[in-house]
Structure 1
Amino acid sequence: MHLCFNGCPSTLSPVSAHASDNPGQLLTGDARHACEAITCLTSPGTPPKECNTSLHKFYSIHHKYAQDTISARRRFLQQCPASAKQ
């Protein structure tokens, strides 16, 4: 299962991880940001500058109650097709 090409996370070029999808098709929109955020959050060390947009989108999700924030952030990350794979 691949989320990125070319030395990811530094280039952050997510592709769909489902076999039924067109191989090599780039993701766009929130699905792309979700996949990038997963890659950036799980990479060791300081994330590269290419992570800024996706991580900003992730960390800007705030709700009144902490559990609501956690749930909303989880739903955001679940927009990445690879998150559905077990």
Structure 2
Amino acid sequence: MKFLTKATLSLAIIGSLSILNAEMATLSNGKTINSLGGDTKLSCEALLCLASPTKPSECEPSLRKYFSLRKPHEKAKFLSLCPKDQNNDKITQDIKGLTGE
């Protein structure tokens, strides 16, 4: 991942956040998903932003919400709101490790 520049990572995060903001998206496998909203959306954005070494301005609302939570179990519960597949539990654990939770 070291070959990616900060600009590339920022564009990737902004693109991912844009997908989260879309009303409806069609995945490459043809499945259609509805947009996320509220804390679910913020949770997914926080996961993306916490995983990135750069923090574009689009990360501000989700990170504000995440860091407003004081107790580790509250932060974990918030991050778990993002819909996930079987690999996301490891991602959540990795992010908690990076943030010292």
* Fold shared per TM-score above 0.5: yes
CA distance in 2, matches of 1:40, 1:31: 14
Alignment of 1:31-46 (within 5 A): 31-44=40-53, 46=54
The answer to which structure has the higher strand fraction is 2
Percent same amino acid at aligned positions? 34
Which residue is 1:85 aligned to? 86
Q: Pick from 64, 74, 77: which aligns with 2:76?
A: 74
Q: When the two structures are aligned, how many residues end up with a matched partner? A: 67
Q: With CA pairs under 8 Å and 6+ residues apart, which has the higher RCO, 1 or 2?
A: 1
Shift of 1:25: 1.6
1:23 aligns with 2:23: no
TM-score, L = length of structure 1:
0.67
Ranges in structure 1 where 5+ consecutive residues have no aligned partner: 1-6, 17-21, 63-68
Counterparts of 2:40 and 2:86 in 1: how far apart (Å)? 14
- Secondary structure of the 2:32 match is coil
Cα RMSD over matched residues? Answer: 2.1
Structure having the higher helix fraction is: 2
Give the greater-gyration-radius structure (CA).
2
